[in-house]
Structure 1
Amino acid sequence: MKTKRAPGEPPKLPGFEYSSLLGSGGFADVFLYDQQLPRRQVAVKVLVADANDERIRSSFRREANLMAQLSAHPAIVTIHAAAVSDDGRPFIVMEYCPKPNLGVQYKRDRFSVPEVLALGVQIAGAVESAHRVGILHRDIKPANILVTQYRRPALTDFGIATTDDGQPGGGGMSIPWSPPEAFGSPPEASAASDTFSLAATLYTLLAGRSPFELPGHSNSSLDLTRRIRSGDVTPLTRSDVPDSLRQLFEIALDPEPERRYTTALSLGHALQRIETELSLPVTTIDVFEEVDSEHRADDDDGATRVRGVIEVPDAPSASQETHAVVVGGGDRSETRGSLDETSQAAPAHPPRSPLLRRVLAGAAAAVVLLVVGAVLLTIEHDDDVDAQAPSPVTPGQGAQRPPAPIAVEATAEGDQATFTWVNPQPQAGDTYRVRVDTDLGQEAPVVVTEPQITVDLREEGATCVMVTLVREQKTESTATEGCIGE
């Protein structure tokens, strides 16, 4: 029988005063410290003293480096610094998060459908951003989604992440949320693997159990692995889950990777469409992308916010004698924490206040961040009020231009393609003018009342549509393009 390891002694770190133990895992402890300058509470993850295995130490250093690359993302925990203590233990200094992770939350709280949709969209942006810089997380699960003191989700624990430069991550997996390909020999991982785990996590928040657990039956690791490989998802019994969300889970949890959402962004857009279907505010997706300042999408009113990849600056070591492993920073003004699955603190309430989320979204819409070496392109959508700068109006009209359709996506079946999109601020009487490129050139615009259209595929090249939102007052948005094919 495995005995739980006793936590180690907190290291003495110059400029930091030890406060309390937050949690312990297999190879690391997490402690709460008071940083003296700047004065704040921080979580410090420390490798245990007897973890002399170079593979473990290398994995620990890689985790710090990978998280530092992503620290600027609002839904990923921020790394302040990392170094080696005077007694030889590597440590990572991260923002302190006093709320419990979602692994604690789902076991005691009922998550609503709107809450899960919003959480899913935000974490999808974090996962997509990691993928865009070549990082696969490989261990997305409720316990690895922390909650900031502003009640926002934050992805953490990149301990077994892999990169596209051939560097493998650490071993291990979390079976209840792992895709079938993770059980192969050798195990495989892709963007579709992470989307599987994210969907399994969202399912868990709704069901109060992982997708392949069968109440009243054996749920051993062997049982779960068999069900995951065969795609035997236990049906959701909640009556408030819409059919569209059930269909999303069917796609995202398919045992065949090519039949799933192959990008986290496409999963996020699917979640946004369900928000629109339920007349909910459309949650913004934040994604990293290198942006050419000469091609800024100033006219894009969508709910996808694109940020330049931020290079993190160097920071001092814990002492003059220690050697820095990695340092990092972020561009957020909000305080966030770094409690991973080994370090949890329990708040009185879950991170799910729609009013607070709307207030924060409104505040965020007023901030423009400029970063040296990267252009920050903000395409902001506010959940409560129109956060867009005044738009040009259609000649002869006094009303503002409505927002452009977002998340234009297409699926092909036979010789036809069905395009769908999201109206970020739906109003009564809205229609859509769609112009289609065909083999004979552009067809005359077609007006539709629903956010979808089915068109014939071109025999060669890409089939594209340009979608414009038309308000009842005859004001029009800018056009949004969607294409399928080469």
Structure 2
Amino acid sequence: MSRRLPSTPPNLPGFEFVRVLGSGGFADVFLYEQNMPRRLVAVKVLLAGVVNDDTRQMFQAEANLMAQLSSHPSILTVYQASVAADGRPYLVMEYCSATIGQRYRATQLPIAEVLSIGVRVSSAVETAHQQGVLHRDIKPSNILTTAFGHPVLSDFGIAATLGQVESSDTVGLSIPWSAPEVLHDEVSGTVASEVWSLGATVYSLLAGRSPFEITGGDNGTAALMARIAKAKVPPTGRDDVPPNLEAVLARAMSRDPGARQASALEFIRDLQSVEAELGLPQTPIEVVVDDWALVTTIDDDERTRVSTAPSVSLRGSARRRRGPAAARTHAGSIATQSRQRETGSTSSSGVTQRVPRLAWGVSIVAVLLLALSGAGVWAVVQGTRSIPVVSNVQGTADGTTVTFTWADPGLQTGDVYIVSIDGTPSPVQRDGTYSLEVLDRERVCASVVVSRDGKAGQASAERCVDVEGSG
């Protein structure tokens, strides 16, 4: 079936049409130049033939969702939304010159880049989930690249609110990146199905093909759905992909939703663990959390909260405008100014007299920090949490099976263990037991380290076990 021709670009006041960018089932995307401020923008225009109450509502929902989420550094920015003179709704969005979908099939992407993209896009998905929103169409072609090379997630056109998906109508989906339960209409979308799509997307970027696609084979709809239903994830076929990463992706695409990572955030941590294993720079998590302040002092005079930085790197890229954390800080500043007006703490010229009080506040903080330093918790003030250290690792051998065990040192939600056997890290795990079959060595040594948010703590003392009957 031939592709349709794009629709006529609408006449938009303040914008000049440049060229067609792409066409979809419900909309066309055009490149315009905005006159004030002068910049190139992508304009998504709903097709006249599909404009009805349902599609108009869906389009409006997309505009609202993306506007709410686009302060995130890895979500495409929406500048404005309106209706053209010919009655077609449109969105004005950040222009991105390329998609990841245009690259991964043409050239092999480096593992470091794929892991970084995976962490950033998963951060965007986790942020949407925390706002109660499912994307429901996560795939490589919906990951765009900004002029600065930053990946951003786009197209929330079929997004749904968490908790409402069970009663939602049937929507379009992309089969190669859709979970088995979605393809078989068991659900129209859940957090677990989004984790599946994230795993399938990262897999695709590594392999140059979707997970269940067979090069030169039958990749029609029925054949793909049948293979996805079995959920036997084949290897990526790349020699440079470590077994741990293959295992992370296979877990994300488990047939049983309960066997997958419990959230996009947990998937992020697994990817970060692979980065740590490969000695790659840590890609920061871009997810806002509530427990920003580890140590807080209050200046009773100013009533201004003075807090340390968060323990986990959750900041966004510098290329973006102020995110939610900064917005909260700004809100706090406004509240402080309001309190100052209420208490009359301004000079006759209207300028707030802050210098003496600020100096007093700084003195309080300085004294507190000195006290904390004397108490041995200076690291907390610096915004770092102490990662627990595993102690007293025990090892036993039963024939050629060696088992190492250790006590829980005080894990938090999301923490994982990384067991190194003779210096080689094994896949991350969450149990205090690790067993392996040894056939070629007479002695096996293991150490265990706790990884939190992709950062490894101090390794345990190494425990060695002699193996009888091996060799």
Question: TM over 0.5, yes or no?
Answer: yes
What residue identity is the alignment partner of 1:304? L
What residue identity is the alignment partner of 1:212? F
**1:405 and 1:451 mapped to 2: Cα distance?**
15
Q: Any residues of structure 2 matched to 1:145-156 within 5 Å, and which?
A: 145-156=143-154
Q: Any residues of structure 2 matched to 1:456-471 within 5 Å, and which?
A: none
What residue identity is the alignment partner of 2:265? L
| 8 Å contact kept, 1:120–1:268 | yes
| 8 Å contact kept, 1:110–1:208 | yes
| 8 Å contact kept, 2:449–2:457 | no
Larger helix proportion, structure 1 or 2?
Answer: 2
What residue identity is the alignment partner of 1:131? H
| 8 Å contact kept, 1:124–1:264 | yes
**1:373 and 1:300 mapped to 2: Cα distance?**
18
Q: Any residues of structure 2 matched to 1:254-273 within 5 Å, and which?
A: 254-273=254-273
Q: Any residues of structure 2 matched to 1:196-345 within 5 Å, and which?
A: 196-289=196-289, 298=308, 300-305=310-315, 333-334=319-320
What residue identity is the alignment partner of 1:278? L
- Alpha-carbon displacement from aligned partner over 1:330-363 (angstroms, at most 9, x marks no partner): x97559xxxxxxxxxxxxxxxxxxxxxxxxxxxx
Quote the offset at 1:3 in angstroms.
3.3
- Alpha-carbon displacement from aligned partner over 1:135-158 (angstroms, at most 9, x marks no partner): 011110000000011101100111
**1:64 and 1:147 mapped to 2: Cα distance?**
20
Quote the offset at 1:298 in angstroms.
2.3
Cα 1:396–1:468 change in 2 (3 A) is farther
Cα 1:266–1:406 change in 2 (3 A) is farther
- Alpha-carbon displacement from aligned partner over 1:380-437 (angstroms, at most 9, x marks no partner): xxxxxxxxxxx9896699x9998846999x9xxx9976955599xxxxxxxxxxxxxx
Q: 2:41 matched to 1:31?
A: no
| 8 Å contact kept, 2:180–2:228 | yes
Cα 1:280–1:267 change in 2 (3 A) is same
Q: Any residues of structure 2 matched to 1:28-67 within 5 Å, and which?
A: 28-67=27-66
TM-score if structure 1 supplies the norm length?
A: 0.66
Quote the offset at 1:220 in angstroms.
1.4
Quote the offset at 1:373 in angstroms.
4.3
Q: Any residues of structure 2 matched to 1:39-438 within 5 Å, and which?
A: 39-98=38-97, 100-164=98-162, 166=164, 168=168, 171-289=171-289, 298=308, 300-305=310-315, 333-334=319-320, 372-373=330-331, 404=384, 419=411, 420=415
| 8 Å contact kept, 1:407–1:421 | no
- Alpha-carbon displacement from aligned partner over 1:427-473 (angstroms, at most 9, x marks no partner): xxxxxxxxxxxxxxxxxxxxx964239xxxxxxxxxxxxx99569xx
Cα 1:172–1:400 change in 2 (3 A) is closer
| 8 Å contact kept, 1:140–1:197 | yes
TM-score if structure 2 supplies the norm length?
A: 0.68
**1:139 and 1:32 mapped to 2: Cα distance?**
23
| 8 Å contact kept, 1:161–1:170 | no
What residue identity is the alignment partner of 1:116? V
Cα 1:221–1:86 change in 2 (3 A) is same
**2:120 and 2:261 mapped to 1: Cα distance?**
16
**1:164 and 1:406 mapped to 2: Cα distance?**
34
Aligned partner of residue 286 in structure 1, secondary structure: coil
Aligned partner of residue 106 in structure 1, secondary structure: coil
Cα 1:8–1:233 change in 2 (3 A) is same
| 8 Å contact kept, 2:48–2:88 | yes
**1:26 and 1:216 mapped to 2: Cα distance?**
27
**2:21 and 2:279 mapped to 1: Cα distance?**
40
Cα 1:88–1:372 change in 2 (3 A) is farther
**2:211 and 2:386 mapped to 1: Cα distance?**
30
Q: Percent identity?
A: 40
**1:224 and 1:417 mapped to 2: Cα distance?**
43
- Alpha-carbon displacement from aligned partner over 1:104-154 (angstroms, at most 9, x marks no partner): 111111111111111111111100000000001111000000001110110
Single out whichever of 288-297 and 205-214 deviates more from structure 2. Answer: 288-297
Aligned partner of residue 91 in structure 2, secondary structure: strand
Cα 1:416–1:192 change in 2 (3 A) is farther
**2:306 and 2:178 mapped to 1: Cα distance?**
38
| 8 Å contact kept, 2:123–2:285 | yes
- Alpha-carbon displacement from aligned partner over 1:251-308 (angstroms, at most 9, x marks no partner): 1010111100120000001111111111111110111345677699725442334x8x
Cα 1:332–1:205 change in 2 (3 A) is same
| 8 Å contact kept, 1:17–1:34 | yes
What residue identity is the alignment partner of 1:141? K
| 8 Å contact kept, 1:176–1:212 | yes
Quote the offset at 1:50 in angstroms.
1.6
Q: CA RMSD in A?
A: 3.9
Residue in structure 1 matched with residue 430 of structure 2 by the alignment: none
**1:126 and 1:406 mapped to 2: Cα distance?**
27
**1:163 and 1:407 mapped to 2: Cα distance?**
36
| 8 Å contact kept, 1:59–1:170 | no
Cα 1:374–1:196 change in 2 (3 A) is farther
What residue identity is the alignment partner of 1:302? V
| 8 Å contact kept, 1:128–1:264 | yes
Cα 1:245–1:157 change in 2 (3 A) is same
**2:225 and 2:284 mapped to 1: Cα distance?**
34
What residue identity is the alignment partner of 1:222? A
| 8 Å contact kept, 1:214–1:234 | no
**1:154 and 1:296 mapped to 2: Cα distance?**
33
What residue identity is the alignment partner of 1:87? D
**1:220 and 1:138 mapped to 2: Cα distance?**
21
Q: Could you list the runs of 5+ residues in structure 2 that have no partner in the other structure?
A: 297-304, 334-368, 391-404, 419-445, 460-471
**1:130 and 1:280 mapped to 2: Cα distance?**
27
| 8 Å contact kept, 2:203–2:210 | yes
Cα 1:177–1:417 change in 2 (3 A) is farther
Quote the offset at 1:9 in angstroms.
1.1
**1:22 and 1:262 mapped to 2: Cα distance?**
37
**1:126 and 1:230 mapped to 2: Cα distance?**
29
Aligned partner of residue 287 in structure 2, secondary structure: strand
Q: Could you list the runs of 5+ residues in structure 1 that have no partner in the other structure?
A: 308-330, 336-363, 376-390, 424-447, 454-466, 472-486
Cα 1:274–1:115 change in 2 (3 A) is same
Aligned partner of residue 41 in structure 1, secondary structure: strand
| 8 Å contact kept, 1:10–1:31 | yes
